[in-house]
Structure 1
């Protein structure tokens, strides 16, 4: 009986491990990315606003700090999501050219002759799908 239970438990574990899969999406969705950033920014802002209540004498009189923190977090999160979703200055897609603010990506580059490492900033100026 104990062996049947072990075999059954292993069979369930194997079937659960093979049935759970993470979906892979090749296409990017800027709306989802912007919305998620705004949502998480709002949560973080409300948390910071709630934490600021600890520094007041009468926290019950300053509950609006939570709302202000949440609103500021949504605005900052939405701005971050828009900047993150925008990849290049000009995009060519489906016969249309779109202009946007490019994302500036910092990186490290090592000079092979001197061995020094320097910080470089890259921005895509044009991107297209053909």
Structure 2
């Protein structure tokens, strides 16, 4: 029976490694949102587990891990969706999409001495023709 369990775990590990290493063909927006939500869930779960150390009876508060992971997934998905949005209004194939614009910092040369100042830009309208 122990040998069968090792075989099953070996097959599962192999399949996960093959699936994990295979490049996917998702678009950049979905990939960014999914990655940020996944990492947010991991960080939130770890933060929830860290709060267990502050509790008087940690065994009674294991739900902190779940709440932390859920909050992390929501925060990561929100961050990923805000990060992938580029313009306030976007025209794509005749459809208008409204979203929150991304503020992008940049440097602009000011004088002849190599001075630069920080400029914040946000796209208000974007279109593909």
TM-score (norm 2): 0.70
- State the 1:108 CA deviation: 3.5
Match of 1:7 in 2: none
- CA distance in 2 between counterparts of 1:108 and 1:58 reads 52
Match of 1:56 in 2: 55
- CA distance in 2 between counterparts of 1:115 and 1:48 reads 44
- State the 1:115 CA deviation: 5.7
- State the 1:128 CA deviation: 1.7
Q: Deviations over 1:84-110 (max 9, x none)?
A: 111111112112222111111223434
Match of 1:20 in 2: none
Point out where structure 2 has 5 or more consecutive residues left out of the alignment. 1-22
Segment of structure 1 superposing worse, 57-66 or 40-49: 57-66
- CA distance in 1 between counterparts of 2:108 and 2:44 reads 35
TM-score (norm 1): 0.69
Q: Deviations over 1:32-88 (max 9, x none)?
A: 321221111111100111112122232112111111111110111011011011111
- State the 1:116 CA deviation: 4.9
5 Å-filtered alignment, 1:29-48, equals 29-48=28-47
CA RMSD of aligned residues (A): 2.5
- CA distance in 2 between counterparts of 1:104 and 1:28 reads 22
Task: Work out which of the two has the higher radius of gyration on C-alpha atoms and give 1 or 2.
Answer: 1
Match of 2:110 in 1: 111
Q: How many residues align?
A: 108
- CA distance in 2 between counterparts of 1:59 and 1:110 reads 56
